[in-house]
Homo-oligomer: A and B are copies of this chain.
Amino acid sequence: MTAPGPSAEAAPLAVVAGGGAFPLRVAEAARRAGRAVFVLALAGEAGPEIECFPHVRIALGEVGRFFAELESRGIRDIVLVGAVTRPEIGRLRFDLGALKSLPEIVRLVRGGDDNLLSGVVRFVEARGYRVLGAHEVAPDLTAPAGPMSRAEPSRAERADIDAGFAALDHLSPLDIGQCLAIADGRILAVEAAEGTDGLLARLAALRASGRLKLPRRAGVLVKAPKRGQDLRVDMPAFGEATVRGAASAGLAGIALEAGRVLVRDEEAVRREADAAGLFVIGVAQ
């Protein structure tokens, strides 16, 4: 043993909670998975529901206090969840610990085109902490391997799913391609800046106009993270709105990479899919 103090697994997991419903779900899932949880709720971002967990409220400028809270609890593992608005540097109130790293923090917050969270991960890891992804601490929030719907893909649709994942893999070096639609081996649409909902709206319009002729309920939406995508800061997420979009686009179903796409509410996904007669399936890659 070279690590000082308690082992990483015995000490609590720190959930750094931003906005939205997701931090609470990750905290709950981590606890279900047997992990003690301590929440650092970001002031102005995290909702009050997270306060059912042991927690402190902390402002974005309180960098010294952030590390002191972790250290005093022997915490080594951190997960960052929820939405955070990139702050205006002039409105942050820095504590003493922040001032020690101020040039680094200013670079991080200004950050240019870099993902703010990637910078935070580097900053925290440089101080000896381990940053985990939500999929690692709460695997039951990701797509399971197998169907999430009553309907299941046909043999031909399984071939499209395999071809779709292979195509996404091929697209990865181009830094696009988290999502595509494929029917009978033909790629109908590739996602880039428009997002998954934009892609589905386009397919619906192409079919409505008759420019894309396919049998009713044909084609599969295939979604996976990019190869090498850092799931700790940017993980594809999926919910029932996308099931509705796929139904409107006349697709037969949806395939997600199991374990690597967040499913916001599996029960709602199942309900929408079964109502529309679509399949939704997780496939291990």
Contacts and interface: CB of A to CB of B under 8 A. Distances in A.
Nearest to A163: B174
Contact of A198 (B175, B180, B187, B202): B202
Contacts of A195: 211
A107 interface: no
Interface string A192-220: 11110010001100100001100000000
B188 A193 contact: yes
A170 B173 contact: yes
A186 interface: yes
Contact of A175 (B175, B187, B189, B211): B187
B202 A194 contact: yes
Given A170-B173, A174-B167, A206 B193 contact: yes
Q: Report the interface size class on chain A.
A: 20 to 34
Contacts of A175: 186-187
A268 interface: no
Contacts of A212: 193
Contacts of A203: 193
A193 B188 CA distance: 5
A194 B176 CA distance: 17
A190 interface: yes
Contacts of A202: 194, 198, 202
Given A167-B174, A173-B170, A192 B198 contact: no
A6 B282 CA distance: 65
Contacts of A187: 174-176, 192
Nearest to A176: B187
A198 B193 contact: no
Nearest to A192: B189
Contact of A189 (B186, B188, B194, B211): B194
Contact of A206 (B174, B180, B186, B194): B194
A175 B180 CA distance: 13
A237 B188 CA distance: 20
12 contacts: A167-B174, A170-B170, A171-B171, A171-B174, A175-B186, A175-B187, A180-B192, A188-B193, A189-B194, A193-B203, A193-B212, A202-B202
